[in-house]
Amino acid sequence: MKKSYLTIVARILVKEEYKEFVKAELLKLLDVTRAEEGNISYDLNQDNENPNSFLLYERWVNRELWQKHMGNKYLAHYLKVTDGKVDEFVLSEMTEIVN
């Protein structure tokens, strides 16, 4: 039987003048997050039509390990330095449907 994983989709709409700054900060999260226990994938995407729009697509073994990730110091740093630079942040927590 195939195991079901936790999927996180985060959509981030950045203020125009901070696009490159926020993108650089998001890039810093990739390697450290991918090395975390329980992370299956952590991918950053930028919208082709609206370069101020980013999407993080994450897969985790379970919710507990994702919650541990949410408490890490580098994520806290990202939230601190990007405060006021993001217009919208929408996070969806999903369960993979296995067939």
Q: What CATH number did the domain enclosing 36 receive?
A: 3.30.70.100
The answer as to whether 21 is a domain residue is yes
CA 56 to centroid of chain Cα atoms: 4
Helix (H) or strand (E) holding 30, with range, is helix 19-34
CB 17 within 8 A of CB 38: no
The answer as to whether 63 is a domain residue is no
Residue 93 has pLDDT above 80, yes or no: yes
Residue 99 has pLDDT above 80, yes or no: no
Domain that holds residue 9: 1-57
- CA 60, CA 78: separation in Å to the nearest integer? 20
pLDDT tens for residues 12-39? 999 999 999 999 999 999 999 999 999 9
pLDDT tens for residues 63-76? 999 999 999 999 99
Q: Which residues contact 82 (CB under 8 A, 6 or more apart)?
A: 18, 21, 22, 25
The answer as to whether 18 is a domain residue is yes
